[in-house]
Chains A and B, each alone.
Chain A
Amino acid sequence: MFVKIEVNNKLIKARKGETIMSALESNGIMIPSICAMKDFTPTGACRMCVVEIEGKQGLVPSCSEPVNEWMKIKTHSPRVIRSRKTIVELLLSNHPDDCLYCDRNGSCELQGLAEDLNVRERRIVGKKNKYKLDHSSPAIVRDPAKCILCGRCVRMCDERLAVFTLDFINRGNSTIIGTACNKDLNFSNCISCGQCIMVCPTGALFEKDCLPEVEDALHNSDKNVIIQYDPSVGVALAEEFGLKPGKDISGLIHAALRKIGFDKVFDTSFAADLVTTELSHQLVARKKQKVKKPLLSSCCPAWIKFAEQSCTDILSDISSCKSPQQMLGAVIKTVYPGISGFDPGSIFSVAVTPCTAKKFEAQREEMTKKGLSDIDAVLTTRQLARLIKLYGIDMSQVEPEIADEPYGVRSSSGKLFGCAGGMTESVMRTLPWAAGGKDPEPSRIAELRGIKGKKEAVLKIGKTSYKFAVISGLANALPVLETIRAGTCDYDFIEIMACAGGCINGGGQPIGADENVVKARMKALYGLDEKEIIRLAQKNPKICELYDDFLGGPLSEKSRDVLHTTYSVRKVLL
């Protein structure tokens, strides 16, 4: 199984069939690379990972070349270093060089490589890239001038999401990455999931900035600024402040947001509980009607857009529940004025999400009522960190606080919505109650945890059994959708999350997270659940209050009006 290879005059062991790069990395030799992505087939595009192999004419990319017994490798010979350095200099030669104004200043891989390879002089001069900024999308901004064409976004979009929005256009030196017919992003079939941002090494892709609007509202004394934050923001924000991944700092977030000047701080997990109860009742009703097709989840706005443009035949099977963010937004603008005395028009509702697609969702036509949109501004986790820094808040000095009532009260199953599978787990805890039975003792459902692309679970209530599936990473959904079309799908409910792992790995989360970080975030959310007293959505006292005082009951006319939405076919360039 093992072969011996000689690296820099030292013998090391490598597993047969593995690539040179992985063999070197497990032996502590770091090889720089731009285009390599874990779990993706190597494309060999960037040529940064080249090494010298005795007997080979040119340099060989270590990302795709498998090891051979007795291969003699030089990883940092002058020839190799010269090549790597020249490649970085080539990339810099036509780069716009406006690092100070760049969204990714400090987290840019190109900057890092230039520093590592000691590029300190502009030896290669080239004509600067000049392309127009693509501002068209409500979620994602594209700056082709900063693109170094590593193709990571293309591969992410094709292989993980199966959306195929981005691809290479033109040839040679005028190659760019763009959408179909090189239209703006808004005309394309982009689902705004933001995974391309997560893999972009430079500032060529970043999310739309909403900070100025939020700041304006904060400084406007006529506005009541209400903020809500997503369950997965609490466990990821810590990374932006240099803390170790997987630390829940929800308490600190509440305090920091109050310091910034938000009038009320709510937790989106409350609305997640609301989704759970509504969804459970929908599911029970559907089972009673003996509908054969499964009910599909509606919490992921990226998936919804995908369905509206590519799965128009199964739109009717998607749950009509709004996503938690939009539910809470609607409740804040319709129910909350009655409690707080705020004028609905004076409320400026902000949501912090781990997601860029939520920016798109917030401005959907269906999410507006009587001229008031449910949510006025959406910030990503990264932008929240920026806001906190902007207001000069030292997170290490902040004392934890609790969120405001009533919508800061949540059950721990609401928190689980942050992970793929969490929503299903939450629904499984509430379903017996919705079906008229007893509340179960929440136990760990191991099948639904972890970052696998497809997970399954079965719940038995009396004689009826419910079959659940959880899909994360949109590409994994395609085969299941095919079975629905073919009529061979036997699931009752399918949770679909566009991002692999769910919201904890969303397109608005801190840059540079690998699989371990995502697992740590996931662990933190499940950890919260274990310590909690209220672990069932229906046990959330404020949910009961909301139903009793205002909505009447799950799936009532009032709740359908406020909490549910519709979908329509979307015509885009595919």
Chain B
Amino acid sequence: MASKTHISVDKEFLVNEVLRNESVELPPDTERKLKYVRRDKVKVPVVFIGTGSCGLISGAGGTLEEAKKYLSERNIGAEIVETGCTGFCSMEPMVEVQLPGKTRISFRHVTPEKLPFILDGIFNNIVPEEHAIGQYKNKSLEPWKNVAFIEELPYYTLQYRNLMKNWGRINPYSIEEYIASGGYRPYVKIIRNYTHAEVCDIVEKSGLQGRGGGGFLTGKKWKVAHAVIADQRYLLCNADESDPGGFANRAMIESDPHRLIEGILIAAYAVGTSKAWISIRNDYRIAIDRLERAIERARDYGLVGHNVFNSGFNIDIIIRKGPGAFVCGEETAMINSLEGKRGMPRPKPPYPAVSGLFGKPTVVNNVETLSNIPAIFENGPDWFNEIGNESAKGTKILVLSGKIINHGVIEVPLGTKVKDLVFVAGQGIPDNKEFKAVQVGGPSGGFLAGEDIDVPYDFQSLASKGVYMGSGGMVVLDQECCIIDTVKYFMNFIQQESCGKCIPCREGTGRMLEVFENITKRPVDEDRHSTLERFKGVMQLENLAGVIKDTSLCGLGQKAPNTVISSLNYFREEYEEHIFDRKCTAGVCRELRLYYISVDKCTGCTICAQKCPESAIIGTKRHPFFIVEEKCTGCGICYDVCKFNAISVK
């Protein structure tokens, strides 16, 4: 309801003066009004609080309450705006403040306790510098002194924010702010002036490739579906993001839902459908709420519904909440799930563009692909074509996580080097530890390490290194991470999430996981037979990986062995160490850890013996204790409780 206070324009004005105006530049009068809607200029101080899932998890809810209390107690006529996230996860909860005439300034880790201090300062024109991240450049406004510009921070220098343009800037619930930022104008122009084929042509010309992982030309896919003669076609937006370490789609919907909806509407028009579906995970509650409200608002503005803007185009958007199976991100499995069947992939051909949902031609596009569409029409296909490198056009949203200083969602032109992503945008590894590898693309991706991190981040270059872009996740590992353990985690994820339909994926991933469980198992209680079986398993690992990759039905299975294959490429020694020496240098594989008590340091205080859950530590009081290796499970409790640093890993 906060948004009502600053919006001086009404629906009629936005529809007639903005949306229906097809000239490139809006009249200065209109533009001036929109500036206030966009908050390029503000009349009262505005406090922006990021309340996306990431912000709320970090405690933005408390900060929001505190801010409301603060303003009402002091009777300050300021406005509070809830935004999505800005992408800078490691800074959450973030608060931004914009005073009339001053640039917008951003603060990190604003807990409810810190908020009064920060606001006290800012309202008195004193910047609490230790809490500030930076300020946004704006020529017409007066900058704060001694505060860095956000655009100049290393986290931002590589970025090209096109999809993320509105993130953290606009209220995701407000369609007015989205329209004021140029939204829905391309859509209205298209449905009133362009033919279906023209729209497909423009998208194909832009070189936009599907961001779901396949990298197929989006315009081409639309054309195929549009060419099939059918009484009904469907557009299906894939928002079923389920990768561990991937949440870019969620953030995208939470921060700028109207951009996705506009993309869906344009795509629906291009394909010639009157029904678009969004399949989204049920646990993305905030995203679903924002999406539902956004569709409602768009319907209110006549952008969704019957005969949109008298163009003769009818469109309805249906949200389908899925339980969030990983395999339902595969298009045919998603279609099955939407039809009420078990989420299992179908063989292709027939491709969904020919026969998909309920046997009708169906275009399945990812959230990110569709969100790219409005800007292509706003700025032209050539503009889009110039971003990126020769083989991949446009930008890509990535999620940086793991052992890295700057966590968060970033948007970079395709073709940016992976090394730069880790060491410039991510600012490298914390605590001066050594970089080990980066896991690209979630469970279907793979590792990059050594010199290979110099590879440009695009579809082809990554594939040449045997890894896939997938959902855009990037998990950085440092020297303290065990590759075997990481691969085991991913294999476990995949074998649980496999739909169980095709044999190589169902049985193969299960067997591979068992191999990893075997080589990280405690060596002491192993008989000869199980030693033989352990070796047999390892010998088959590469064969299995090859067959799974070659024969699996869908992308989930075909890409399931990638982590294994790529980790074998870079870290064969680490495998051998686990297999032959039964040792984990990183000290992660618990069952391979053996502790011992230093005779010199142990005072015989008995605390470790008391805490040991396996009663594996014995000795006499006030004399050095020792650990019975056969009983020790490597839990490390003794290591944690010893006050004399007498216990260490062998």
A558 at the interface (CB under 8 A from B): no
A48 to B552, CA, bound (A): 10
Q: If the complex has contacts A58-B549, A90-B504, A126-B514, are A43 and B499 also in contact, measured as CB distance less than 8 A?
A: no
Contacts of B325 in A (CB 8 A): 171
Contact with B along A20-55 (1 / 0, CB 8 A): 000000000000001000000011111110100000
Are the C-beta atoms of B551 and A168 separated by less than 8 Å?
no
Task: Answer whether A93 and B507 are a contact pair too, CB < 8 Å, given A44-B346, A171-B500, A175-B500.
Answer: yes
Q: Which of A59-67, A135-143, A185-193 contacts B (4 or more CB under 8 A)?
A: A59-67
Shortest distance in angstroms between B359's beta carbon and chain A's nearest beta carbon? 11
Whether A172 lies near B346 (C-beta < 8 A) is no
Chain A residues closer than 8 Å to B533, beta-carbon distance: 125
Please encode chain B, from 538 to 552, with 1 for each CB lying within 8 Å of some chain A CB and 0 for all others: 011001101101111
Which bracket fits the contact residues of A?
35 or more
Residues of B within 8 A of A130 (CB): none
List the A side residues contacting B507 at CB < 8 Å.
90-91, 93-94, 126, 173
Q: Are B347 and A82 in contact (CB under 8 A)?
A: no
CA distance A443 to B360 in the complex (A): 48
| Interchain CB contact under 8 A, B342 and A87 | no
Q: Is there an interface contact between A123 and B342, defined as CB atoms closer than 8 Å? A: no
What 1/0 flags go to A156-185 for Cβ under 8 Å of B? Answer: 000000000001101111110000000000
Assess whether B536 is interfacial by the CB under 8 Å rule: yes
- A93: which of B349, B499, B500, B511 is its contact (CB, 8 Å)? B511
Chain A nearest Cβ from B496, distance in angstroms: 4
A172 with B510: CB separation less than 8 A? yes
Q: Are B510 and A47 in contact (CB under 8 A)?
A: no
Main secondary structure of the interface of A (DSSP, over half): loop
Given contacts A171-B497, A173-B510, contact A46 B547 (CB under 8 A): no
Q: In whole angstroms, what is the CA distance A87 to B503 when docked?
A: 7
Q: Are B543 and A86 in contact (CB under 8 A)?
A: yes
Taking A87-B503, A90-B507, A148-B503 as contacts, is the C-beta distance between A43 and B498 under 8 angstroms? no
A124 pairs with B544, CB closer than 8 A: yes
Interface size grouping (class) on chain B: 35 or more
Q: Are B506 and A175 in contact, CB atoms less than 8 angstroms apart?
A: yes
With A44-B347, A47-B552, A83-B550 as contacts: A172 and B543 at CB distance below 8 Å: no
A172 touching B496 in the complex, CB below 8 Å, given contacts A43-B347, A64-B347:
yes
Interface centre among B349, B501, B549, by most chain A C-beta atoms within 10 angstroms, is B501
Chain B neighbourhood of A50, CB < 8 A: 550-551
Within 294-347 of B, Cβ neighbours of A (below 8 Å) are at 325, 327, 342, 344, 346-347
Residues of B within 8 A of A42 (CB): 347
Residue from the list A66, A90, A171, A174 in contact with B511, Cβ < 8 A: A90
| Neighbouring A residues of B238 by C-beta, 8 Å | none
A82 to B544 Cα, complex, angstroms? 10
Contacts of A45 in B (CB 8 A): 501-503, 553
Q: A64-B347, A126-B507 are in contact. Are A47 and B553 (CB under 8 A)?
A: yes
Asked if A79 is at the interface (CB within 8 A of a chain B CB), the reply is: yes
Chain A residues with CB below 8 A from B504, complex form: 47, 83, 86-87, 90
> Would you list which residues of chain B between 17 and 32 have a CB under 8 Å from chain A?
none
Q: How far is the CB of B488 from chain A (nearest CB, A)?
A: 14
A288 CB–B CB distance under 8 Å: no
The listed residue with most A CB atoms (<10 A of its CB), out of B327, B509, B510, B537, is B510
6 additional A-B pairs beyond A123-B536, A148-B503, A171-B497, beta carbons within 8 Å, are: A45-B501, A47-B503, A47-B553, A58-B549, A173-B500, A175-B498
* A interface with B by C-beta (< 8 Å): 34, 42-48, 50, 58-59, 61, 63-66, 79, 82-83, 86-87, 90-91, 93-94, 123-127, 148-149, 151, 167-168, 170-175
Can you list 22 A-B contacts with CB-CB less than 8 angstroms, sorted by A residue number? A47-B504, A47-B551, A58-B549, A61-B347, A83-B504, A86-B508, A86-B543, A93-B507, A94-B507, A125-B536, A148-B503, A149-B500, A149-B503, A168-B344, A168-B501, A171-B327, A171-B498, A171-B500, A172-B495, A172-B500, A174-B496, A175-B500
